[in-house]
Amino acid sequence: MGMEPEIANLSFEEALKELESVVRRLESGEAPLDESIELYAKGDALRAHCQARLDSAQARIEAIVADRDGKAQGLRSFDEAAG
């Protein structure tokens, strides 16, 4: 089961806002069972999308190479970082 196309195109901030909306709707207890199931699935996809965005950002940050003065000198490729 892949992510819905619209979720895949959301920025982290947009996905987080949408996830918060889904959680509020679920917590309200007003959604019928079928809608709750759909909301849960959408929320899970949004959570996974947010996590993937965070993981990508963290990998980019960790790839920054600093010189002795702590100034960024550039990014290493992931192949160099893994080696």
Cα gap 35→47, rounded to integer Å: 18
Cα-based distances in Å from 17 to 2, 4, 55, 61, 83: 21, 16, 18, 24, 37
Range of the domain at 76: 5-82
Tens digit of pLDDT for each residue in 23-79?
Answer: 999 999 999 999 999 999 999 999 999 999 999 998 888 777 555 556 666 655 555
Q: What is the model's pLDDT at position 54?
A: 94
The torsion region of residue 74 among left (phi > 0), alpha (psi -120 to 50) and beta comes to: left
The tokens for 8 are 């895949």
pTM > 0.75 = no
Q: Is 54 helix (H, G, I), strand (E, B) or coil?
A: helix
Domain count, the chain: 1
Q: Give how far the C-alpha of residue 27 lies from the chain's centroid of Cα atoms, to the nearest Å.
A: 21
Tens digit of pLDDT for each residue in 1-35?
Answer: 455 569 999 999 999 999 999 999 999 999 999 99
Question: At residue 83, does pLDDT exceed 50?
Answer: no
CATH number of the structural domain spanning residue 77: 1.10.287
Q: What is the model's pLDDT at position 79?
A: 56
